[in-house]
Amino acid sequence: MKSVFDKLDNLEKKYEELSELIADPKIMADRERWQQYVKAHSEISEVVTVYRQYKKVVAELEDVRQMLREKMEPELREMAEMEEEELKDKKKELEQKLKVLLLPKDPNDEKNVIMEIRAGTGGEEAALFAADLFRMYTRFAELKGWRIEIMDSHYTDLGGLKEIVFLVEGKGAYSQLKFESGVHRVQRVPTTESGGRIHTSAATVAVLPEAEEVEVDINPNDLRVDVFCSTGPGGQSVNTTQSAVRITHIPTGIVVSCQDEKSQHKNKEKAMRVLRARLLDRAQQEQQQQMASARKSQVGTGDRSERIRTYNFPQNRVTDHRIGLTLHRLQDVLMGNLQEVVDALVTTKQAEQLQQVEQA
């Protein structure tokens, strides 16, 4: 534990140094440098705050124990013993919190996210479910104060989604949404079903951290860019100008298209953002496969072929299969109230990481 406290002491010193630097007028005059220091200061702010709370509790606990070594009235002793127990619990709670805060951070956690939802098995019902998922994530983003921008979409005549690609822009978006990758399954009576039978349909969700240009080097000679007229539901053309863009990355065969903007230039720009995210995701998956151990994560591999969650309408139930979490408030979840599910997934991942650290 000594090495942990050495690390915490060093972080506190660094925090104090950064606090002085960001208040220095000379540093403030250099906007880029000042922003780097502010970002570094923000990244360690929480752990330093908790560490200072921890040191305060330890000092108070020592004071109470010192009092208990002396003679005192029975009533005062009883009060001091109660305070000692409360402080011991608080110390233990803060120790656990510090362990979690010191876990290695996912470098992508603070990034924006590019999400892709595609209708799977189930025909039109799967497309309608994909649209439900898109609304769920849109409302969750609104509750978090994030911004949604559609990159590409293909609707059906009934308002379902064959597929949609969209950007989620906001602080910590990837850290909150990264466990949504996988197969989402719905069990309900479709609006297209006259016999009242329950059908099972599915949609796949992919969550990609948005890549910066410096993270992915794309050779323009490796790209084939095609332009075409945008199409709406049923395949009809929605305008006569060739504003839609399809980009093929020849070395990997990855194809990205975008037609939501009227401007060809804007569609190409959006398509490139999606392409960069897919290439970064591909590179990271290859790296993870090379480093993967025999033991898989409790919250799943993030593989898009893995069934992660079932939305059962007749039983008003949402079940996350990776952690065995069941909530009987389906409509509430579909309205974007996903935080309880997200928190449970994050906590499970942290518990697994702590176990790995303790076993190492």
Residues 323 and 234 in one domain: yes
Where is the domain boundary, 55, 70, 101?
101
Residues 139 and 239 in one domain: yes
Where is the domain boundary, 78, 101, 124?
101
CATH number, position 329 = 3.30.70.1660
Range of the domain at 249: 113-288+302-351
Residues 194 and 337 in one domain: yes
Residues 246 and 318 in one domain: yes
Residue 154 falls inside a structural domain: yes
Please tell me the distance from the alpha carbon of residue 343 to that of residue 339, in angstroms, as a whole number: 6
Looking at residue 48, what is its pLDDT? 95
Residues 95 and 213 in one domain: no
Over residues 205-248, the pLDDT tens digits come to 999 998 876 678 888 899 999 988 776 554 444 455 678 999 99
Question: What is the domain count for the chain?
Answer: 2
Over residues 134-166, the pLDDT tens digits come to 999 999 999 999 999 998 899 998 899 999 999
Residue 293 falls inside a structural domain: no
Residues 127 and 28 in one domain: no
pTM: 0.72
Residues 165 and 310 in one domain: yes
Residues 180 and 284 in one domain: yes
Residue 19 falls inside a structural domain: yes
Residue 45 falls inside a structural domain: yes
Query: Is residue 295's pLDDT more than 50?
Result: no
Residue 360 falls inside a structural domain: no
Mean pLDDT computed over 50-64: 95
Please tell me the distance from the alpha carbon of residue 311 to that of residue 321, in angstroms, as a whole number: 11
Residue 54 falls inside a structural domain: yes
Looking at residue 90, what is its pLDDT? 95
Residues 182 and 238 in one domain: yes
Residue 92 falls inside a structural domain: yes
Residue 296 falls inside a structural domain: no
Choose among 93, 71, 162: nearest CA to 122: 162
Residues 273 and 194 in one domain: yes
Residue 87 DSSP symbol: H
Q: Which residues are CB-contacts of 247 (< 8 A; sequence separation ≥ 6)?
A: 223, 224, 225, 226, 255, 256, 257, 268, 271, 272, 275
Residues 169 and 308 in one domain: yes
Mean pLDDT value across the chain: 87
Query: Is residue 114's pLDDT more than 90?
Result: yes
Q: ∠8-10-16 over CA atoms, to 5°?
A: 105
Over residues 254-293, the pLDDT tens digits come to 999 998 888 888 999 899 999 999 998 888 887 667 645 4
Looking at residue 232, what is its pLDDT? 59
Where is the domain boundary, 57, 72, 101?
101
DSSP assignments along 262-316, one per residue: S-HHHHHHHHHHHHHHHHHHHHHHHHHHHH--SSPPTT----TTSEEEEEETTTT
